[in-house]
Amino acid sequence: MKAMKMNIYRSILKTAGLASVLVLASCQDLLELEPQNSFSEESAFSSPDRVALSVAGMYDAAQSGFYAGGAVRGYPFGAAHVEQGDNRGEDVVNTQLFYAVTYEGTYDPTTANNDFMWQTLYALINRCNVVLQGLNGVTPSGTMTQPVIDGYKGEARFLRALAYHQLAIHFCRPYSDNPTTALSGVPIRLTAITSGTSAEAELAKSRNTVAEVYTQILSDLDYAETVLPETRTPLGVQISRATKAAAVALKTRIYLHMGNFAMVITEGNKLAEEASAPFSPAAGYGTYTLPANPYAAFSSAGSKSNSESIFSMENDAADNAGVNGALPAMYSTAASGGRGLVGISPLLWNEPWFLTTDVRKSATFTVQDNPGGGKAAMYTRKYTDITARSDNAPILRYAEILLNMAEAIQRQVGATPDARAFAMYNAVRSRSVTDPATDNIADFATGNDLIQAILNERRIEFVCEGLRWGDISRLAQDATFNTWGGGVPAKISRNIANYSAYYTNDPATNTTILTTPALNHAAKPYADFRFLWPIPFSETSLNPVLAEEQNPGY
């Protein structure tokens, strides 16, 4: 039976008013089941400790869901969102067979990666719905005050919003592509499945529109912002449980995907209100900062105690994604005890704007190795705890908020490079590189030049954090900035025996890779059905409505 993540569960139980964690030890099986199956539906929310366990169950569902054969893996947010988001893009290279389906785009309605992403995301959504339904029946008393109840609801709605956006970027066309088109989104399920009758009704639901999905996401996050706390203690718990700033940070990402740049700025001003560096949140939104050390948010220790991580998914020695899913195992090399399945692609490494002097190319961040049975490549050092696999999975960092705002501000301003947009971009870039060619706003001839630099910076800063596919999706129809052609980008071939010779720091090498069929997996145009994941057979076999609404081509 899976052990619990003790730090976050202790904090939830403490919030509920328990004097000890003895109840936790005596109820270890509870989070293996839906809360209503652990207790009767009438009693699951009858005491603070039972409410706390149900809330903890939401985070457990987000961190380590089920997988083929009943295995526990990091689906959806313990590790899988990073691994799948990376491997759908071109900035990593899949060195072995493990992620080949995702990397090469050969998925179908039965392949495991997309299947279990769908299943575990909806399992998380249902956990949230169960908690929300249960909390609606709780009468405030004692330690279970109305603010505590509302705060729990805020956590449920934050996690639900996070889940719906993950579904949207993988299974739906981007918001820019006629979001009000019928059946363009995923089913919105807001009713708790607690019996066969309610399950039948929910499973029969049709797809909503993309616009309706985003409206629901924003409704959840707007509510969460009003009821979540500003801070939590200790800092590790603040990073791994939802806060007011986490809700706002996710809103900046959502509005960026919608192309609503004015609202990115409105929300972002709550977290970075200054016109120039150093940036910090407005009163009431915590004390996040951008550390001078770009590595501060990483390593097993750093990921749990730093000023930059706004929200991360907790992993620890007692509960992690396992050797076949955890980020340290998948991304680290054999020399350090990992499996070395995902490396940094030469296509990113050789870009002219990824300078050789960039700290993020240094031995602190990267290492070249030839994993046992694998292929020599460059690998990230963001995840370090190979043995216990305790590195938190990053979700929202302060660097992203600054780059979200920088892009939105510059897009709003237009042709002339904006000083505030540049300052936010430069705050992120300058901690890793000193580059005379881009150190001053005068180095950018046009606003579009600055926007392109911001987009380039995102690729460097967030490589191996799973954000690349989200940017590919949202920019797919942006004629100015989809520099790869707008669909699934071409990638270096997974079939190359050894990648060492391709890390040259020379853009001409990329040209050779992309013009030599044997060296690449060809790009897929935006119109190609493989731009989207299929709704899995595990869902359509139970829901004839969705079977008729399958993504085209599957």
* pLDDT at 477 > cutoff 70: yes
pLDDT surpassing 80 at residue 478: yes
Please name the residues in contact with 107: beta carbons below 8 A apart, sequence gap of 6 or more: 101, 113, 114, 530, 533, 534
DSSP letter for each residue of 144-191: B-HHHHHHHHHHHHHHHHHHHHHHHHHHS--TTS-TTSTT-S-----S
Q: What average pLDDT does the structure give for the chain? A: 91
Q: How confident is the model at residue 373 (pLDDT cuts 50, 70, 90)?
A: low
How far is Cα 250 from Cα 267, in angstroms, rounded to an integer? 10
Whether pTM exceeds 0.85: yes
**Is the pLDDT reported for residue 25 higher than 70?**
no
- Residue 150 neighbours by CB under 8 Å, 6+ apart: 227
Of the two residues 135 and 26, the one the predictor is more confident about is 135
417 falls in which pLDDT band (50, 70, 90)? very high
Q: What is the pLDDT of residue 527?
A: 96
pLDDT over threshold 80, residue 282:
yes
72 three-state secondary structure:
strand
pLDDT at res. 439:
86
Helix 146-171 with 244-258: angle, nearest 10 deg = 30
> Between residues 44 and 358, which one has the greater pLDDT?
358
pLDDT of residue 551: 98
pLDDT band at 40 (very low <50, low <70, confident <90, very high): low
The string of pLDDT tens digits covering residues 225-252 is 999 999 999 999 999 999 999 999 999 9
pLDDT in tens, 175-228: 999 999 999 999 999 999 987 777 888 888 999 999 999 999 999 999 999 999
When pLDDT is cut at 50, 70 and 90, the band that residue 276 belongs to is very high
Query: Which residues on adjacent β-strands are paired with residue 312?
Result: 394
pLDDT for 18? 34
Q: With bands split at pLDDT 50, 70 and 90, how would you rate the model's confidence at 29?
A: very low
- pLDDT of 42-83, one tens digit each? 677 889 999 999 999 999 999 998 888 888 899 999 999 999
Mean pLDDT across 112-135 = 96
DSSP 311: E
Tell the burial category of 451 from Cβ atoms under 10 Å away from its Cβ (0-12, 13-18, 19+).
buried
Portion of the chain with pLDDT greater than 90, in percent: 81
| pLDDT tens digits along 284-321 | 999 999 999 999 999 999 999 999 999 999 999 888 88
pLDDT number for residue 374: 61
- Best CA proximity match to 228, nearest among 312, 113, 149: 149
Using the CB atoms, write b or e for 143-153: b if 16+ within 10 Å.
ebeeebbbbbb
Average pLDDT over residues 534-547: 95
Q: Which residue has the higher pLDDT, 85 or 5?
A: 85
Q: What is the pLDDT of residues 514-527, one digit of tens each?
A: 999 999 999 999 99
Q: State how beta strands 92-94 and 309-313 pair.
A: unpaired
Q: Is the pLDDT of residue 546 over 50?
A: yes
Q: Tens digits of per-residue pLDDT, 124-169?
A: 999 999 999 999 999 999 999 999 999 999 999 999 999 999 999 9
| 36 — pLDDT class (breaks 50, 70, 90) | very low
Q: Lowest-pLDDT range, 95-109, 121-135, 315-329, 532-546?
A: 315-329
Residue 15, pLDDT > 60, answer no
pLDDT at 291: 97
- Is the pLDDT at 8 greater than 50, yes or no? yes
pLDDT at 17: 40
Position 27 scores a pLDDT of 30
